[in-house]
Chain A
Amino acid sequence: MLTKRIIACLDVNGGRVVKGVKFLNLRDAGDPAELALAHSEAGADEIVLLDISATAENRKTLLQTVRQTARQLFIPFTVGGGIRSLNDASAVFDAGADKISLNSAALADPALITCIADRFGSQAVIVAIDAKKMSTGNTYEAFVAGGRKPAGRDACEWAREAESRGAGEILLTSMDRDGTGLGFDCALTQLISTSLRIPVIASGGAGTIEHFVQVFQEGQADAALAASILHYGVTRLADLKQELAAAGIPMRWPC
């Protein structure tokens, strides 16, 4: 049976892993290559590295970080943040990434999804959507620029378009829950997951193991992202996967 994936996410800034609450109060959480390897050995099913600064100067640092991280990693490795062109994507693949994650650039130029998918395959293209619940009704809007600007697009409709343009997976972040530890937005996850044929990775809000059970059962997520819950040792991956398996969620465990 296909297992549900636990994806360890590393937010990097200037070559270091950082984690904050809603993009604020960034704290140093360690060396990306060391953390990625440690998560892989502890049972992470994939590693995602997000460059949260994405300035020109930091691009070189990022590629170096990607190379160092990829060197000893033999599980799927995704890199996102600041990828705006086929050239940016090629450089990240050359450095050792298996998949890239597009966000603002895809909303600004949806053809970029197809362009990268045609060259590297749909399995290599993740479209990340930062979604915020609208005050009226049960709809969600997509946001860009690290969650600072509304994109003027319905999140579900944008996810469908991304799929039709060749995205292989959707990385769905609830802006309302990100960094809060209050649990995933299961309603949002279920809405998007059941609207698409491609897998959906749920992100934002994980605080307890029970939250992961909920997002796989109620949210029908195919994978879930874990970041701060892992970095500070709040939850060990082994405990997380063991308890999910005990709750009847198909897991790669023991690895």
Chain B
Amino acid sequence: MSVAIVDYGAGNLTSVKKAFDWLGQTAIITSDPDAIDHALRVVVPGVGHFAATAALDHGLRQAVQSAISRGTPVLGICLGMQWMFSSSMEAPQFPGLGIFPGECQRFPADVKSPHVGWNQLAIDRSSRLLANHEREPFVYFTHSYRAPVVTETVARCQYGGDFSAIVERDLVFGVQFHPEKSGTAGLKVLEAFGTLPC
């Protein structure tokens, strides 16, 4: 089985699966740590409140951590990406995975929130996720909190200041936007993730 999409009750699972299906890659939606152990790739999706990530604490956090240790490619999407940071001001009592340093914060008061719509990536350095892109693409965002720009940031986005749109360390990736909802540009990101050598 190719891609395990981690089900912790936080949305957009079927649309992520639908995108992998369309790309011809086998994907399953699962909340079973064993299935994650046997997956060649792991996706942590998610929309909504950071507190929802607490549901990962019953075995799934450990499974994702083990996958990362084994060198399995792991992709966090939106809330799934924010969970890969140390924490979020949205629910500070629940720690993130801490793969990337820093705390996710609210947008400043002078811009509308949530940040909803298509915004353009500013690519800082080459990323394996953007291997199929020839220019800086427009992608679809919908979020009220954002991750800081860190040394692992490979693409930024600008809305009330810069934030991390793509982070990457070894085979761990996070995208703040929704590749499954970003048209051809998004499908190319998922295709690049799905065809990483592993």
Instruction: Give the Cβ gap from B163 to chain A, nearest Cβ, in Å.
Output: 12
Instruction: List residues of chain B with CB within 8 A of the CB of A5.
Output: 117-118
Confirm or deny: B113 has a beta carbon within 8 angstroms of a beta carbon on chain A. Answer: yes
Instruction: Determine if A75 and B183 form an interchain contact, defined as CB atoms under 8 angstroms apart.
Output: yes
Instruction: Give the Cβ gap from A104 to chain B, nearest Cβ, in Å.
Output: 24
- Contacts known (A2-B159, A5-B118, A96-B15); A75 close to B181, Cβ less than 8 A: yes
Give Cα distance in the complex from A222 to B118, angstroms.
11
Interface string of A59-93 (1 = CB under 8 A from B): 00000000000111011100000000000000000
Give Cα distance in the complex from A70 to B21, angstroms.
13
| Of A27-35, A107-115, A117-125, A202-210, the one touching chain B | A117-125
Instruction: Give the Cβ gap from B176 to chain A, nearest Cβ, in Å.
Output: 13
Interface string of B37-50 (1 = CB under 8 A from A): 00000000001110
**How many contacts between A and B, using CB within 8 angstroms?**
90
- Contacts known (A123-B47, A123-B142); A45 close to B187, Cβ less than 8 A: no
Majority DSSP secondary structure for residues of A touching B: loop
Confirm or deny: A169 has a beta carbon within 8 angstroms of a beta carbon on chain B. Answer: yes
Instruction: Determine if A199 and B112 form an interchain contact, defined as CB atoms under 8 angstroms apart.
Output: yes
Per a CB cutoff under 8 Å, which of A3, A123, A169 touches B118? Answer: A3
Confirm or deny: A223 has a beta carbon within 8 angstroms of a beta carbon on chain B. Answer: yes
Instruction: Determine if A74 and B119 form an interchain contact, defined as CB atoms under 8 angstroms apart.
Output: no
- Contacts known (A40-B183, A197-B112); A45 close to B47, Cβ less than 8 A: no
Instruction: List residues of chain A with CB within 8 A of the CB of B49.
Output: 121
Instruction: Give the Cβ gap from B92 to chain A, nearest Cβ, in Å.
Output: 19
Report the nearest B residue to A5, measured CB to CB.
B117
Instruction: Give the Cβ gap from A215 to chain B, nearest Cβ, in Å.
Output: 15
Give Cα distance in the complex from A123 to B141, angstroms.
10
Instruction: Determine if A76 and B158 form an interchain contact, defined as CB atoms under 8 angstroms apart.
Output: no
Report the nearest A residue to B46, measured CB to CB.
A121
- Contacts known (A1-B158, A76-B181); A98 close to B15, Cβ less than 8 A: yes
Instruction: Determine if B140 and A124 form an interchain contact, defined as CB atoms under 8 angstroms apart.
Output: no
Per a CB cutoff under 8 Å, which of B19, B114, B115, B138 touches A74? Answer: B19
Instruction: Give the Cβ gap from A92 to chain B, nearest Cβ, in Å.
Output: 12
Confirm or deny: A187 has a beta carbon within 8 angstroms of a beta carbon on chain B. Answer: no
Instruction: List residues of chain A with CB within 8 A of the CB of B18.
Output: 70-71, 96
Report the nearest A residue to B21, measured CB to CB.
A71
Instruction: Determine if B112 and A74 form an interchain contact, defined as CB atoms under 8 angstroms apart.
Output: no
Confirm or deny: B105 has a beta carbon within 8 angstroms of a beta carbon on chain A. Answer: no
Per a CB cutoff under 8 Å, which of A2, A4, A40, A121 touches B115? Answer: A2
Within 8 A of B (CB), among A201-233: 222-223
Within 8 A of B (CB), among A149-207: 168-169, 196-199
A sample of 16 cross-chain residue pairs with beta-carbon separation below 8 angstroms, ordered by A number, consists of: A1-B159, A2-B117, A2-B119, A3-B120, A5-B118, A70-B15, A76-B142, A98-B181, A120-B47, A123-B47, A123-B114, A123-B142, A199-B112, A223-B117, A252-B118, A252-B138
Interface residues of A (CB under 8 A from B): 1-5, 40, 45, 70-72, 74-76, 94, 96, 98, 120-124, 168-169, 196-199, 222-223, 252, 255
Q: A74-B183, A121-B48, A123-B143 are in contact. List 13 more A-B contacts (CB 8 A).
A: A1-B158, A3-B119, A5-B118, A71-B18, A96-B14, A96-B15, A98-B12, A98-B181, A123-B116, A169-B116, A197-B112, A198-B112, A255-B184
| In the A-B complex, the 3 residue pairs with the closest CB atoms | A121-B48, A252-B138, A123-B142
